[in-house]
A and B are shown apart, each in its own frame.
Chain A
């Protein structure tokens, strides 16, 4: 049987060279949407038994272990990140461990496109389309935030200082790419509170 053809949302896009920050698609990441009650000890420990770490309970934070990460989405929802090729196995393990515990784990690896932006000024670039104070004290490495970005819904994950992953629904990948291409254009940089 033939190997299935894989084509990510931005497979045909290359980062333009006139940008003040760098920008690329991350397509090798697997994602699992996990629902369960953080107040349910059985749920939390079942997940820990598979993941090796506690799901984060503090809003807008993330936790990680090895190549796995868990992003807090809500009081009963997390986005689990892993290597794409390991997603099926991880999902199966989670479902086995969770058994009859009230929960819902779904492979959503293809539901969102991820764009990584890097470099000095990434926050200010995003602030051309987001009303959040991304240069403020609430936004540090590990922060996760769902937000309205430009005209669409997006999820932002601050990987480390000046490295941000933006998750958008796959159908909006081109729109997001085009917006960032425009916002990050060289010569249009805005630096806030730099003295």
Chain B
């Protein structure tokens, strides 16, 4: 039973007070351009997810608390929450740098934009 802390209302509680919302930073192609979406883009949006051992980025909702969604960076081995951050935000830069595998790939351009 994890302890989760909501970055919006700062409430801490058992994970059963929260709702896990799957992988973070999944982009919905139809929101920006509903017309030109390839089958591959739609497939990636719906089905393709990372499953890293170690640092992972997730969505959570403060389900029994303030009701707000947020992002969390969590280590899937130690279960440590490395950071929580806003639902429209990117992770702290040092965590984007620490990310491995497909996440490192994903954050590469974001880091360039930040720099």
Contacts and interface: CB of A to CB of B under 8 A. Distances in A.
- Please determine if A and B sit in direct contact within the complex, based on CB atoms under 8 angstroms apart: yes
Interface of A: 59-60, 73-75, 77, 131-132, 145-148, 153
7 contacts: A74-B9, A74-B66, A75-B9, A75-B66, A131-B14, A147-B65, A148-B14
Interface string B3-28: 00000111101101100000000000
Interface on chain A toward B: helix, strand, loop, or mixed SS? strand
Contacts of A146: 64-66
A131 B9 contact: no
A148 B66 contact: no
B70 to A, nearest CB: 12
A68 to B, nearest CB: 22
B64 A74 contact: no
Given A75-B8, A145-B11, A59 B17 contact: no
Contacts of B66: 59, 73-75, 77, 146
B64 A153 contact: yes
Contact of A148 (B10, B16, B67): B16
Contacts of A131: 13-14, 16-17
Interface of B: 8-11, 13-14, 16-17, 64-68
Contact of B68 (A60, A75, A147, A148): A75
Nearest to A153: B64
Nearest to B1: A131
A10 B103 CA distance: 53
Given A73-B66, A75-B68, A147 B13 contact: yes
Contacts of B9: 59-60, 74-75
Contacts of B65: 145-147
A148 B11 contact: no
A59 B14 CA distance: 18
Contacts of A132: 13
Contacts of B13: 131-132, 147-148
Nearest to A131: B14
